[in-house]
Amino acid sequence: MADPLHQFEIMHLTPQMDVGGLPLSITNSAAAMGASVMAITLFMGLGMRKRALVPNYWQMMVESCYGFVANMVRDNAGKGSEKFFPFLLSLFLFILCGNLLGLLPGSFTFTSHIIVTFAMAAFVFLGVTLIGFWVHGLNFLKLFVPKGVPILMLPLMILIEMISYLSRPISLSLRLFANMMAGHIMLKVFAGFVFGLGLAGVFPLAIASLLTLFELLVAFLQAYVFAVLSCLYLNDALHLH
Amino acid sequence: MKDLKQLKSDIAKMRAQQKKPPASDKKNEAYGALRLGSDFLAALITGALLGFMMDFWLGTSPWLMIVGLFLGLVAGTLTMLKQAHSKNKT
């Protein structure tokens, strides 16, 4: 019986080299991230090679990706947010490509590790907080004071607002990680049933194919949710509520 | 003149009708439910984690973690209420 958790193991593809005390090597997770970046670069680079005014199909796909994320950033992050568009575009495409590449049989989904999604969410959170302090100075702390609260309850409300602000990176990372890991575990469990049942293995095979379709939807949706929420947090930092 | 006025009122009516759908309702609903559940869970976990860290620092064995869990519960519920309220408005 195949083990559904074996797919998440980190395997070292090159021998480990000692870099400043840390044993580093190229793991399958790093290779998947590299493949994702290369796929995005090739997609956008080769698509925009001709730079025609009337686009061909490939260029139209690249332009619609760009336009989709640009609209999302402009709608959700408000006015001063055009500066942060390159970061949000890279974030969205990186997560999307990582999720999609994980659906190929035999490959590795790097977003199914909480440390990867937490690193990305922590970067977004720290970046947004620093941007908030940069733009508003110490006035940024006014974010934690909800309006219309009697003064006696203010310390408790500020504590609760801080907890809900600090819960943002955890919710961002947990959502992506849980969806990816659960989806892939389910796929492996049903795939494991196929060989055990012999001829009646057609049924788990059908369910596994339907699940793959569902995972395709979840891959797009989760990347979109991550990017939209990053834009919303940026909006909170740039324009205090 | 009357034709122009009619045209203006027609345009205003069509514009009012166009502003109604917020931004593909189905997409909003789909990820709204996802956000509500995971934000609540995350606030709970954050509260418990913060309480646990304060416990570690001050040495008061499980009490601060329980207080943190409770505060996280309140924070999560407030977050969910705020999100649901803002979605109903727009």
Q: Residues 46 to 85 of B: which have CB under 8 A from any A CB?
A: 46-47, 49-50, 71-72, 74-76, 78-79
With an 8 Å Cβ cutoff, are A174 and B79 in contact?
Answer: no
Q: How many residues does chain A have?
A: 241
Look at residue A1 in the predicted model and tell me its pLDDT.
53
User: What are A24's strand-pairing partners?
Assistant: A17
Mutate to test the interface with B, among A71, A73, A164, A230 (most CBs of B within 10 A): A164
* pLDDT 10s digits, A223-235: 999 999 999 899 8
For B60: left if phi > 0, alpha if psi spans -120 to 50, otherwise beta; the answer is beta
Residues contacting A235, CB < 8 A, separation 6+: A76, A77, A78, A81
pLDDT tens over chain B, length 90 residues:
678 888 888 888 887 776 554 444 555 555 677 788 888 889 998 888 888 888 888 877 777 788 888 888 988 898 888 888 876 654
Please list the residues that pair with A187 across neighbouring strands. none
Query: If you average pLDDT over every residue of chain A, what do you get?
Result: 88
Please check whether residue A193 is in contact with residue A57, taking contact to mean a CB–CB distance below 8 angstroms.
no
Give residue B1's pLDDT: 65
Residue in B with minimal Cα distance to A217: B30
How far apart are alpha carbons A24 and A84 in whole angstroms? 32
Mean pLDDT value of segment A40-67: 88
* 3-class state of residue A17 by DSSP: strand
- In whole angstroms, give the CA distance from residue A122 to residue A176: 13
Size of interface A-B (CB pairs under 8 A): 61
CB atoms under 10 Å from CB of B39, counted, come to 25
Task: Tell me what pLDDT residue B87 has.
Answer: 67
Torsion of CA B80, B81, B82, B87, to 10 degrees: 90
pLDDT given at position A75? 87
ipTM: 0.73
Q: What is the structure's pLDDT at B22?
A: 47
Q: How far apart are CA B81 and CA A164, in angstroms?
A: 12
The encoded tokens of residue B51 equal 């309480």
Q: Are the C-beta atoms of residues A38 and A29 closer than 8 Å to each other?
A: no
pLDDT digits (tens, 9 = 90+) for A180-222: 999 999 998 888 888 888 888 888 889 999 999 999 999 999 9
Q: Is the CA virtual torsion A164, A167, A169, A171 positive or negative?
A: negative
Taking alpha carbons only, the member of A80, A76, A173, A85 closest to residue A134 is: A80
Percent of chain A with pLDDT over 90: 47
CB A15 within 8 A of CB A116: no
Q: How many helices (H) and strands (E) does chain B have?
A: 3, 0
Least confident of A49-53, A56-60, A104-108: A49-53
Give the Cα separation of B39 and A159 in Å (integer): 17
| Digit-coded pLDDT (tens) for A132-178 | 888 888 888 887 887 777 888 888 888 888 888 899 999 999 999 99
pLDDT exceeds cutoff 70 at A52: yes
Quick one: closest CA in B to A75, which residue?
Answer: B23
Q: Based on the number of CB atoms within 10 Å of its own CB, is A123 exposed (0-12), middle (13-18) or buried (19 or more)?
A: middle
